[in-house]
């Protein structure tokens, strides 16, 4: 057998030490290049997709509304006060996580429904589905304006049909104005009253060693009680009961009038039963018919022309109708350049620019200053839908409103909620409009001071330090405040409250002692506020706009400018480098119980970031006042 050659000794080369820095840098650059390429490709893809969508929505606008069609209002959406302003991050989120809740804003909804009344292409109005309220959207004051638009549509003689299965109170309040209300045979209508329930953390904070100290002015200013008590105080129970009763009476009165039923009997039935099957609701006159959805579709086919492509009646969705017809008061036809600016203060009032769904003081102040200097702007309408927030932030906004009022009229339109700091920024306007169910007032101030000393100590964490003066660390969270420190903060709270009263007294031309009498942090409905002089007139956003145009002598040729303005994808993209609201995606389902819980928790947690007043003093309602 042939033997293998003997192994020869090898010359071993000393290995070169790797350059870890260079290899790490090259690896990072490679990864960055790959990710950058993918991101760029994704961006190009999104641009193409949205550009194609935008191109697809163009063309002859009148051709996109078929003749002899039904305007379909799909209520599976959120109706906001302000136009939805979406940055590029919102479009990216939808691309990754899926579509968000469909959203339309109040003025475009109202304008479209009223416009359809005189549109020869529209034969009827059909409402179905169930509202998906988010943040401050789809409030009762907003829905009342939509109801009024539906009543305007009815005056044209065209029918309004509504179909529902298990309507919420908001759904039925809106649908009850229809000529024909139809319910699924397995549906249930609840008219069981209003309730408000809050969470109280007093015992939990005590159990876990979280210290809470508060300052407050106003007998009814109860916002701090959720942190210090385990139940409602009697003054808070008194004001909330009065508030809910007044709102409930207003809702039942409007429903009874629309349905032409006896109000005392409706109240009695509500107290006695509260929930009604479809057949019981029909017997009481609360609905007109009991039928399945397919039967309603067949009936609609007798009203409108038949569409062979759809194999159903000719129809146009409300969002498509808005896209096709546009918003009349923004189009500028025959306008001489005169504008009525509608500025939205929606959400918590906070220092700085603010997050989405917040009224940032610096942003609103800057916008008001700009409008004050623009000659084409004849008047400003401030739409307030806010529970208030930072006292300092509210004062910054109020100051700009007062200065604007000196050069051009400022009219306030209160949405579903315009209380505490929301009333603070409204008080100096030339005229204040509110709906009967608007929640307003709450003229009071409170301070909230946490400390985590006990909680930290129980986990072995202690605090120590030095200071140059007795009050240098007054805002520390490592200990409770001394009586002297607490007195200083209470003094500042009293000062803010006195300023609040003074501004209301001056703005409303009301004796100071009367303001103090109706203040005390008490919450009022819009109707109650009218009776005591906190608002001037019952009416909606359109009423405020037309009044502003009238007192500004704007004539008939004016247009609306809305701030903040809605941005489309290309505008959001342009903003990224220095949304129209896309066709609303389809999310037609109620939130699950788990979804409702997580949504409520998210809302509570998001409200925490609104607490950014430099001195911890707030003119704000409790965290939530849900019905």
- Residue 469 maps to a domain: no
For the entire predicted model, the pTM comes to: 0.81
Report strand pairing: 558-563 vs 338-346: parallel
Categorize the per-residue pLDDT at 474 as very low, low, confident or very high, splitting at 50, 70 and 90: very high
- pLDDT band at 24, cuts 50/70/90? low
Q: What is residue 626's predicted lDDT score, i.e. its pLDDT? A: 54
pLDDT the model gives residue 620 = 72
Q: How many residues does the chain have?
A: 627
Write down the pLDDT at residue 527.
97
Q: What is the CA radius of gyration of the chain?
A: 29
Are 417 and 513 found together in one domain? yes
The answer on 287 and 418 residing in a single domain is no
Q: Which of 123, 158, 221, 453 is catalytic?
A: 221
pLDDT for 536 equals 98
In this structure, the answer to whether residues 317 and 331 fall within a common structural domain is no
How high does pLDDT run on average in the chain?
84
Listed range (148-162, 176-190, 210-224, 395-409) with the worst mean pLDDT: 210-224
Per residue in 68-126, pLDDT (tens digit) is 999 999 999 999 999 987 555 555 555 555 567 899 999 999 999 999 999 999 999 99
Told to judge if 130 belongs to the known catalytic residues of this protein, a careful annotator would answer no
Residue 593 pLDDT class (50, 70, 90 cuts): very low
- What pLDDT does residue 596 have? 47
Last residue of a domain, one of 299, 324, 349: 324
- Same-domain status, 383 and 287: no
Task: Name the 3-class secondary structure at 53.
Answer: helix
Note the pLDDT tens digit of each residue in 309-356.
888 999 999 999 999 988 876 654 445 689 999 999 999 999 999 888
Given the residues 138, 270, 390, 420, select the one marked as catalytic.
420
Distances (CA, A) of 364 to 349, 354, 359, 623: 10, 10, 7, 22
Among candidate residues 87, 382, 60, 441, the one with its CA nearest the CA of residue 246:
441
372 within domain boundaries: yes
Task: Note whether 513 and 563 are same-domain residues.
Answer: yes
Q: What span, in angstroms and rounded, lies between the C-alpha atoms of 288 and 465?
A: 74
Residue-number span of the structural domain to which 114 is assigned: 63-192+274-324
3-class secondary structure, 378: strand
**Residue 164 counted as domain residue:** yes
Given a cut of 50, whether residue 6 has pLDDT beyond it is: no
Question: Domain tally for the chain?
Answer: 2
Residue 177 in tokens = 């104005």
Q: Does the annotation mark 221 as catalytic?
A: yes
Residue 186's domain is classified under what CATH number?
3.90.226.10
90 and 141 share a domain? yes
Name the domain boundary from 265, 298, 324: 324
> pLDDT digits over 186-208, tens only?
999 999 999 998 899 999 999 99
The answer to whether residue 206 is domain-embedded is no
The answer on 74 and 152 residing in a single domain is yes
Both 508 and 541 in one domain: the answer is yes
Mean of pLDDT values over 550-557 = 91
Residues 489 and 361 grouped into a single domain: yes
Percent of the chain whose predicted confidence (pLDDT) is above 70: 77
Query: 317 and 434, same structural domain?
Result: no
Q: Answer yes or no: do 345 and 357 share one domain.
A: yes
pLDDT, position 14: 43
Average pLDDT of the residues in 128-147: 95
Q: How confident is the model at residue 555 (pLDDT cuts 50, 70, 90)?
A: confident
User: What is the tens place of the pLDDT at every residue in 413-459?
Assistant: 999 999 999 999 999 999 999 999 999 999 999 888 999 999 999 99
73 and 101: one domain?
Answer: yes
Output the pLDDT for position 32: 53
Structure tokens at 265: 């009997």
Question: Distance between CA 567 and CA 579 in Å, rounded?
Answer: 3
């Amino acid at each position: 057998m042939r033997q293998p050659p003997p192994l020869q000794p090898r010359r071993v080369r000393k290995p070169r030490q790797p350059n870890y820095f260079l290899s790490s840098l090259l690896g990072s650059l490679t990864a960055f290049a790959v990710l950058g390429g993918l991101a760029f490709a994704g961006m190009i893809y999104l641009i193409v997709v949205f550009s194609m969508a935008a191109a697809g929505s163009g063309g002859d606008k009148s051709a996109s509304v078929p003749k002899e069609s039904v305007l379909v209002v799909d209520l599976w959406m959120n109706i906001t006060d302000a136009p939805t302003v979406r940055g590029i991050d919102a479009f990216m989120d939808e691309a990754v996580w899926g579509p968000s809740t469909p959203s339309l804003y109040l003025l475009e909804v109202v304008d479209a429904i009223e416009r359809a009344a005189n549109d020869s292409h529209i034969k009827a109005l059909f409402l179905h589905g169930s509202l998906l309220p988010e943040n401050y959207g789809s409030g009762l004051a907003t829905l009342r304006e939509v109801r009024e638009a539906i009543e305007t549509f009815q005056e044209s003689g065209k029918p309004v049909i509504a179909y529902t299965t298990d309507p919420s109170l908001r759904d039925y309040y809106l649908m009850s104005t229809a000529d024909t209300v139809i319910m699924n045979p397995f549906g249930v209508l609840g008219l069981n009253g209003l309730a408000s329930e809050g969470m109280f953390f007093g015992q939990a904070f005590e159990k876990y060693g979280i210290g809470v100290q508060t300052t407050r002015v106003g007998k009814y200013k109860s916002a701090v009680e959720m942190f210090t008590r385990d139940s409602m105080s009697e003054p808070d129970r008194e004001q909330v009961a009065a508030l809910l009763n007044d709102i409930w009476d207003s809702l039942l009165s409007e429903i009874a009038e629309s349905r032409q039923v006896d109000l005392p009997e409706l109240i009695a039935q509500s107290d006695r039963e509260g929930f009604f099957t479809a057949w019981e609701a029909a017997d009481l006159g609360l609905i007109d018919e009991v039928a399945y959805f397919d039967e309603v579709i067949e009936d609609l086919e007798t009203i409108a022309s038949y569409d062979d492509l759809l194999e159903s009646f000719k129809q146009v969705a409300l969002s498509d109708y808005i896209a096709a017809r546009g918003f009349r008061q923004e189009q500028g036809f025959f306008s001489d350049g005169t504008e009525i600016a509608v500025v939205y203060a929606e959400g918590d009032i906070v220092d700085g620019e603010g997050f989405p769904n917040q009224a940032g003081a610096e942003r609103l102040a800057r916008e008001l200053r700009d409008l004050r200097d623009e000659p084409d702007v004849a008047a400003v309408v401030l739409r307030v839908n806010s529970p208030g927030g930072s006292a300092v932030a509210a004062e910054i906004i109020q100051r700009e409103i007062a200065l604007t009022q000196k050069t051009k009229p400022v009219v306030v339109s209160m949405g579903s909620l315009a209380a505490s700091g929301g009333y603070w920024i409204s008080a100096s306007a030339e005229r204040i409009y509110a709906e009967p169910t608007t929640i307003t007032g709450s003229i009071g101030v409170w301070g909230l001071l946490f400390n985590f000393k006990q909680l930290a100590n129980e986990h072995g964490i202690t605090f120590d330090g030095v200071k140059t003066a007795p009050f240098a660390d007054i805002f520390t969270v490592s200990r409770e405040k001394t009586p002297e420190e607490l007195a200083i903060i209470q003094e500042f709270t009293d000062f803010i409250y006195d300023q609040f009263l003074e501004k209301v007294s001056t703005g409303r031309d009301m004796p100071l002692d009367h303001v103090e009498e109706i203040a005390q942090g008490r919450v009022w409905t819009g109707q109650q506020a009218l009776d005591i002089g906190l608002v001037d007139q019952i009416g909606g956003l359109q009423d405020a706009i037309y009044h502003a145009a009238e007192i500004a002598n704007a004539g008939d040729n004016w247009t609306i400018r809305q701030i903040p303005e809605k941005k489309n994808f290309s505008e959001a993209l342009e903003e990224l480098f220095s949304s129209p609201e896309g066709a609303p995606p389809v999310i037609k389902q109620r939130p699950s119980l788990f979804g409702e819980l997580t949504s409520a928790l998210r809302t509570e947690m998001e409200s925490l970031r609104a607490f950014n007043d430099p001195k911890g003093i707030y003119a704000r309602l409790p965290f939530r006042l849900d019905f």
